Amino acid sequence: MKLKRALLLAIITIATVLTGCEPLTVLDPKGPQAAVQANDIKLSIGIMSFVVLVVFAMLAYMLIKFRASKQKEDYEPPHIEGNIWVEALCVGIPVLIVAFMSFVSVQSNYKVESTPPGYEDKEPLVVYASSSNWKWHFSYPEEDIETLNYLYIPTDRAIEFKLYSFGPITSFWVPQLGGQKYAMADMVTTLHLAADHPGDFMGRNANFSGEGFAENTFDVTAMTPVEFDEWVEEVHNTAKPITEEEFVGLLEPGHLGKMTFTGTHLDFMPAPEGEHAGHNHGSSDDEESNDDHEDHENHDEHSEHSGH
């Protein structure tokens, strides 16, 4: 009786706790890339659930069928050789599951790393998404607009994100549109996303980057192409231009609200791609070579004086 009450109490407690959980946004995709990943997650959950149920069913069967029984004190269990079929199943089934999921994962990886299906013939919207402690800067070079901590995108159009960081490694993630991808200093990574439906989505940094990591979030709003064009026009009529001095101030560690500017920081602080890639790494080498050159000159000069 006590065991039944404990089990009932445990079930009620679990059900109560789960009702307070937020919905799994990764299983509510609003774009083709997110749909691919959501299907993979559901497939993995289904396979794992089947395996768990089979294992527990076999465990219950074994416990009931081969439960302890009263035997004589001199009883010795018979020696049983291994069963080749049981061993083949125990090894073969996990190998088949891993092989199948590996095939699915590789296939899906190619899909999410390329332009979303159905958008190949459309010109993508290019957005440079850069992070700093603890903010997100979004630059629209074609629209000549920059936003802070929020992102507006049109529906039914591929979005090509160029990701990099002004500080530690961060991870750009909008769960309902696709998987996360790292943003790093001195290089640019590319992420392809698209939104099939208008709506508001949550975006965040999914990689720990210091004490302000928990609030390193941004809002994403997907709207119709007409509404997006109207927003672009409104920004150009109302927002002030961004300056290098102001942008450098925005890079200081801290949290800020949403901000909108005309122009982008790419004009005076280009992204680390092309001829600008790895410029910070190169500076230390240049300084080293300059130091070596100065040491060599000093050595020659010292030799000349010694000769006199």
Using CA atoms, how far residue 298 sits from 49, 190, 284, in Å, is: 73, 47, 21
* Per-residue pLDDT, 286: 42
- Reading the chain (308 residues) residue by residue, the pLDDT tens digits are 666 676 677 777 766 655 555 567 889 999 999 999 999 999 999 999 999 999 999 999 988 887 777 777 787 878 877 888 888 988 999 999 999 999 999 999 999 999 998 888 889 999 999 999 999 999 999 999 999 999 999 999 999 999 999 999 999 999 999 999 999 998 999 999 999 999 999 999 999 988 899 999 999 999 999 999 999 999 999 999 999 999 999 999 999 999 999 999 999 999 998 888 875 533 444 444 444 444 444 444 444 444 44
Could you tell me the residue ranges of all domains in the chain? 25-64+84-113, 125-276
What class has domain 125-276? mainly beta
Q: How far is residue 277's CA from residue 218's CA, in Å, rounded to a whole number?
A: 26
* Per-residue pLDDT, 29: 94
Q: Do the strands 159-165 and 189-193 form a parallel or antiparallel pair, or are they unpaired?
A: antiparallel
* Per-residue pLDDT, 18: 53
